[in-house]
Amino acid sequence: MGQASWPVWTLGKLMTQLARKIREGDTRALSRLATGVENRDPQALETLRELAPATGHARIVGITGPPGAGKSTLVDALALELRKQGKTIAILAVDPTSRISGGAILGDRIRMQQHHADPGIFIRSMATRGTLGGLARATADLARLMDAAGRDYVIIETVGVGQDEIEIASVAQVTVVVLVPGMGDDVQAIKAGIMEIADIFVVNKSDHPGADRVELELHTEGFNCPILHTVATEGKGIPELAAALDSIPTGGAGASACQPAPDQSTDHHTSIDSIGAATGYPLGPEGWQAEAPAPPVCPPSIDHLGIAVHDLAASIAFYQSLGLAVTHRETVLTEKVDVAMLPAGDSRIELLAPTAPDSPIARFLEKRGPGLHHIALRVPDLNAAVSRLQASGARLLNEPRTGAGGHTYVFVHPASTGGVLLELIQENTK
């Protein structure tokens, strides 16, 4: 009876049948394919490709935050609220640490399955499989699968706030960071990484003392995205959270709704600078573009490579020894960065050194050390490029802006580009 003895052509037919069943809402078929996708089974991945045209409907929500923030309870309450509204949900509970912790999240999910035997809520727990990069990829694939299966919401829940969770959460169109009162130093630890991907903050357990202080701290930091208060165990604030999920534009400009508000800055930061500060990347190359050689208009080409360095003079000397010459030097006050431009063929090397410890470049150096900081691509039509990126769900860090040289530019989050900050530039078309 084994399928293995069937001729090859029937296998193809079977997979098509599986895809059809999933489209029809068969949860057992969905579960089977999910396992195949998690195991990187080639036939399962082929079926996933087959289902690709059916994707694009679901709202993909990431929920993350430190252990003890009550995320599971919050997710359960949110799922029930969305069910009340007639929506279907898939929950992907991802635990990159399960190898160590023994997968407590699984126990939670078994509990929930028992409490709510509802085919409208599909729950999948994912533990560590191979590399963490692999886990993020598997999460993205499963999210697409749930989308293709017609789920209205795909909720990706991760257990911590480490780099792995950030990578996984970046699969989401809307990311909710759950905090709780009385976290003390934990808040500082979270700030180091997760803030840059947050679209909504939830202060859960907000009936506990200190909830207002958490909110105040977020405001002080300059984050101006929605901050909601919930008591998940009582369902308080959950309908508001459900509504907020729909209010965040997906994947578009301002991909993080939590960009610090410029008018709350106590110094002379521009809003561009503040985005840079939040991400550790400087933005806004106003000024130094003025002396750029006029590039050919199309197709897209590399305008420059931005390299973060500790010692500008030493780096310049190195590139000069290779025959490159500095054509432009500038100190960008708002970014607290010294810039040197060295043309190399049709593109340029942009050396960036901090002038102050709170420069975005200083933060970058501190976090990652010297090295490639961003890649800038010249595109013939920035608005067209932005539209395409938005359609594909890429995370843009700003609306297209015009620099002092008349060029327009936009930054794309590393989460969308393969891990490097990407600057898109359209030259002045006068």
Looking at the Cβ atoms of 244 and 349, the one nearer to Co ion is 349
Q: Tell the smallest beta-carbon distance from residue 272 to Co ion (Å).
A: 12
Q: How far is the CB of 87 from Co ion (least distance, A)?
A: 42
**Which SS3 state, helix, strand or coil, does residue 23 take?**
helix
Q: Select the residue whose beta carbon is closest to Co ion and give its number.
A: 306
Instruction: Considering the complex, state which of residue 260 and residue 285 has its C-beta at the smaller distance from Co ion.
Output: 285
Whole-angstrom distance, CA of residue 391 vs CA of residue 388? 5
The minimum distance between CB 325 and Co ion, in angstroms, equals 19
Shortest distance (Å) from residue 254 CB to Co ion: 20
Q: How far is CA 245 from CA 167, 200, 279, 307, in A?
A: 20, 8, 23, 37
Beta strands across the sheet bearing 371-378: 328-332, 337-344, 347-354, 301-308, 371-378, 421-426, 408-412, 401-402
Q: For residue 175, give the DSSP letter.
A: E
3-class secondary structure, 370: coil
CA end-to-end distance (rounded Å), the chain: 71
Interacting span for Co ion (CB under 5 A) from 147-155, 249-257, 363-371, 373-381:
373-381
150: left (phi over 0), alpha (psi -120 to 50) or beta: left
* Binding flag, residue 360, Co ion (CB under 5 A): no
**Shortest separation between residue 326's beta carbon and Co ion, angstroms:** 15
Residue among 160 and 285 whose Cβ is closer to Co ion: 285
Say whether residue 306 binds Co ion (CB under 5 A): yes
Alpha-carbon dihedral sign for residues 113, 116, 122, 128: negative
Please work out the total of residues on this chain that contact Co ion, with binding judged by CB under 5 A: 3
For residue 94, the cross-strand partners are: 126, 158
Q: How far is the CB of 292 from Co ion (least distance, A)?
A: 11
How big, in percent rounded to 5, are the helix, strand and coil portions of the chain? 40, 20, 35
Nearer to Co ion, 156 or 308 (CB): 308
CB 377 within 8 A of CB 300: yes
Supply the minimum distance, in Å, between the C-beta of residue 404 and Co ion: 13
Q: For residue 222, state whether it binds Co ion (rule: CB under 5 A).
A: no
* Residue placing its CB nearer to Co ion in the complex, 61 or 376: 376
Asked whether the beta carbons of 89 and 121 are under 8 A apart, the reply is yes
CB of 364 to Co ion, least distance (A): 13
Q: Is the distance from CB of 424 to CB of 410 less than 8 angstroms?
A: yes
Nearer to Co ion among residue 228 and residue 352 (C-beta): 352
Check if the beta carbon of residue 85 is closer than 8 Å to that of residue 53: no
**CB nearer Co ion, residue 80 or residue 326:** 326
> For Co ion, which is the closer residue by CB, 51 or 421?
421
Region near Co ion per CB under 5 A, out of 57-65, 134-142, 260-268, 298-306: 298-306
Q: Work out which of 160, 276, 285, 414 binds Co ion, going by CB under 5 A.
A: 285
Q: Which stretch binds Co ion (CB under 5 A): 142-150, 181-189, 372-380, 414-422?
A: 372-380
Choices 46-54, 194-202, 305-313, 354-362; region in contact with Co ion by CB under 5 A = 305-313
| Segment contacting Co ion by CB under 5 A, of 125-133, 142-150, 217-225, 280-288 | 280-288
Phi and psi, residue 410, nearest 5°: -150, 150
Give 235-303 as a DSSP string. TBTHHHHHHHHHHSPSSSSSSSTTPBPGGG-SSS--HHHHHHHHHT-----TTGGGGPPPPP-SS-EEE
Give min distance, CB of 375 to Co ion, in A.
9
| Binding test (CB under 5 A) with Co ion, winner from 112, 309, 376, 386 | 376
Rounded to the nearest 5°, which phi and psi values hold at 348?
-140, 160
The secondary structure of 291-358 as a DSSP string is GPPPPP-SS-EEEEEEEE-S-HHHHHHHHHHTT----EEEEETTTTEEEEEEEETTEEEEEEEESSTT
Q: Please identify, using beta-carbon distances, which residue of 145 and 376 lies nearer to Co ion.
A: 376
Stretch that binds Co ion, among 87-95, 138-146, 306-314, 388-396 (CB under 5 A): 306-314
What is the smallest separation between the CB atom of 215 and Co ion, expressed in angstroms?
35
49 sits in which H/E element: helix 42-51
Closest approach of Co ion to the CB of residue 262, in Å: 21
Rounded to 10 degrees, the C-alpha dihedral 64/70/72/78 comes to: -90
Minimum CB distance to Co ion smaller for 175 or for 274 = 274
Q: Stretches 6-14, 72-80, 312-320, 369-377: which one binds Co ion (CB under 5 A)?
A: 369-377
Residue closer to Co ion by CB (options 164, 286) is 286
Residues that bind Co ion (CB under 5 A): 285, 306, 376
